[in-house]
Amino acid sequence: MSAAIAGLGMTELGRVYGRSPRRLAADAVRLAAADAGLGLEDLDGLLVSHGMGGSPGIELADTLGLRDLRLLTQMNAFGATAGAMVAHAAMSVLSGAATTVACVFADAPLKPKQSAGSAYNRSAREWYGYGGMTAALGLRSVNSFYALAAQRHMSRYGTTSEQLGAIAVSTREWASRNPLAQMREPITIADHQASRWVSEPLHLLDCCLVSNGAIAVIVTSADRARDLARPPVHLWGWGQGHPGHRKERGSDFGLTTGAVSSGATAMKMAGITPPDVDVCELYDCYTYTVLVSLEDYGFCAKGEGGAFAASGALGPGGSLPTNTGGGQLSAYYMWGFTPLSEAVIQARGDGGERQAPRNDVVLVSGNGGILDHHSTLIVSPHPKGA
Amino acid sequence: MEIGVLRRDGRTDPFFDGTAAGKLVIKRCEACDRWYAPDAGGCPECGEEDLAWADASGEAVLVTWTATHGRPAEDGTVPPPVHLALVELAEGPWMYARLAGVTGDDLREGLPLRASFEHPDEGESYVLFRPVG
């Protein structure tokens, strides 16, 4: 037996106001079930992702009127949650604990008239204790922590801002072909270089969007999925990696991520190696996250992620189409459900203008914390081993 | 970037006793002879939950850094960037830090730094790191 994704539901994404995260989540689950040709009464499992802006918990089951569930929990591995949820759903299906599991992420951190940055920023007049001092002195935004990671890679390997810019440019080129993307105007390396500094070495165009909305998928057995409304997206492998870098002498913080072990675990399960991957959907909270993930998955050697990105490999027509929907940088920021949703679209061949030429093996990543947590899924339109 | 006013929290007060006296006070596991950052919750080596507070030398080297920029104001003026860093204390732990006396172009991995202490009129004293010499 194997498991597959049978349904995908996406609400409007972006500056979407007026619906609570709970309502958005319920809408996404309904859309995903309908996409699969299922009714809500067919669900016997629900996994709800943690988020930032008041995301729902397991009370979502009540909102949806779900009864007699056999699996219900909220999960949190930060940005690695989506992959962890789909893997948990798949294992539940394979073990017989549940047959049809919805996995959903919803968030609404954006408020009307508020900047995207301030949704994730902190400020205060008074600060408390040692942790408060660190924030008071300026370490308040996730941007700064990822900047520290990216600068370390630059110092160690000579990675450049223009190489990060190549990722912003190729991602936007994909987004220009995606009607769902929030940012569709093509950009150049010069635009990237001219965009304002956020936290050096990160320009504004190195940083992801912030979006409101919700996305859900339905996981069931491959056998059942074959009889449903949409072609199954088969789950070939999954993995997680949590390196636990300590902040002390000798630490690899910023230089290597959990993708090393997460990728190896998922690829071994799937029976593939990096050259087998046709499409990458990588968690791109920052351009740098893509660069370091490509290295850690083994698509290029450690330290060569910048040159690999600058080679044009990632964009349309490149050797490794990556973030084909425009990712979190240019399309929509739904944590790990951004790469997951685009992987389902690509595996189904539903990419339209942005459909990758080959889609036999699609790699999906999730990344959480400051490169602290990682998850991987390998998906395909074909059953594993077929 | 406004620093604001620092207050004690009852859990890290010895750190601020240190900054007031011009000393960098961090955590230490006596059993393992290992040093930890001031916000360490326990010793991951032996499981000791109650780490001691101990005086560090205040010597450090630069691990990595960022110049963080505020949003432009409505009149288009941009506040000066703030240089933030991870520094490696001579005792081994890393600390998140704000740098002083740097321009940005002068930063490199391994740059020797030393703790310096600021004593604002209101609130607790705090630590910055400056290049040595």
Q: Are A241 and A331 in a shared domain?
A: yes
- Measure in Å the smallest separation between the Cα of A261 and chain B Cα atoms: 22
Whether the CB of B8 is below 8 Å from some CB of chain A: the reply is yes
Q: Are A215 and A192 in a shared domain?
A: no
In terms of phi and psi (left: phi > 0; alpha: psi -120 to 50; beta: otherwise), the region of B14 is alpha
Question: Residue A122 domain-assigned?
Answer: no
The residue behind tokens 């959907």 is A281
- Measure in Å the smallest separation between the Cα of B61 and chain A Cα atoms: 10
SS3 B39: coil
Looking at residues A369-381, what average pLDDT do you find? 98
Q: Decide if pLDDT at A116 tops 90.
A: no
The residue behind tokens 């002068």 is B106
Of A130, A249, A251, the CB nearest to B15: A130
Q: Decide if pLDDT at A185 tops 80.
A: yes
**Bridging pattern class, strands A213-221 and A202-203:** unpaired
Residues of B in contact with A156 (CB under 8 A): 109
The residue among A274, A272, A233, A246 whose CA lies nearest residue A383 is A233
The residue behind tokens 């391994």 is B110
**Bridging pattern class, strands B52-56 and A3-10:** unpaired
A333 has catalytic annotation:
yes
pLDDT of residue A299: 98
Among the candidates A221, A250, A277, a domain finishes at A221
Terminal-residue alpha carbon distance, chain A: 13
pLDDT of residue A114: 72
What pairs with residue A7 in β-bridges?
A: A218
Q: Are A59 and A195 in a shared domain?
A: no
Which domain, by its residues, includes A382? 142-209+237-386
Report the alpha-carbon distance of residue B94 to residue B112 in Å, rounded.
Answer: 14
Report the alpha-carbon distance of residue A144 to residue B129 in Å, rounded.
Answer: 17
Residues of A in contact with B66 (CB under 8 A): 144, 147-148, 151, 199-202
Q: Are A13 and A159 in a shared domain?
A: no
Taking each helix axis as running N to C, give the angle between helix A259-270 and helix A287-297, from 0 to 180 degrees, rounded to the nearest 10.
50
Indicate yes or no: CB of B93 within 8 angstroms of CB of A247: yes
pLDDT level of residue B1 (50, 70, 90 thresholds)? confident
How long, in residues, is chain A? Answer: 386
Q: Are A215 and A242 in a shared domain?
A: no
Of B8, B88, B95, the CB nearest to A129: B8
Residues of B in contact with A113 (CB under 8 A): none
Q: Are A216 and A326 in a shared domain?
A: no
Q: Are A101 and A177 in a shared domain?
A: no
Instruction: Count each helix (H run) and each strand (E run) in chain B, helices first.
Output: 1, 9
pLDDT in tens, A196-244: 999 999 999 999 999 999 999 999 999 999 999 999 999 999 999 999 9
Active site residue: A146, A283, A288, A297, which one?
A: A283
A332 has catalytic annotation:
no
> What letter does residue B93 receive in the DSSP assignment?
B
Question: Residue A53 domain-assigned?
Answer: yes
**Number of domains forming the structure of chain A:** 2
Question: Residue A175 domain-assigned?
Answer: yes
- Measure in Å the smallest separation between the Cα of B115 and chain A Cα atoms: 14
What number of other Cβ atoms are within 10 A of residue A227's Cβ?
10
Task: Give the torsion sign (CA, A69, A70, A73, A75).
Answer: negative
Among the candidates A197, A221, A245, a domain finishes at A221
pLDDT of residue A40: 98
Interface size between A and B, measured as CB pairs under 8 A: 124
Q: Are A146 and A76 in a shared domain?
A: no
User: Which CATH number does the domain housing residue A66 bear?
Assistant: 3.40.47.10
Contact A239, A269 (CB under 8 A): yes
The residue among A22, A288, A352 whose CA lies nearest residue A159 is A288
Q: Are A39 and A175 in a shared domain?
A: no
Q: Are A21 and A151 in a shared domain?
A: no
> What letter does residue A353 receive in the DSSP assignment?
G
pLDDT in tens, B39-87: 998 999 999 999 999 999 999 999 999 999 988 888 888 889 999 999 9
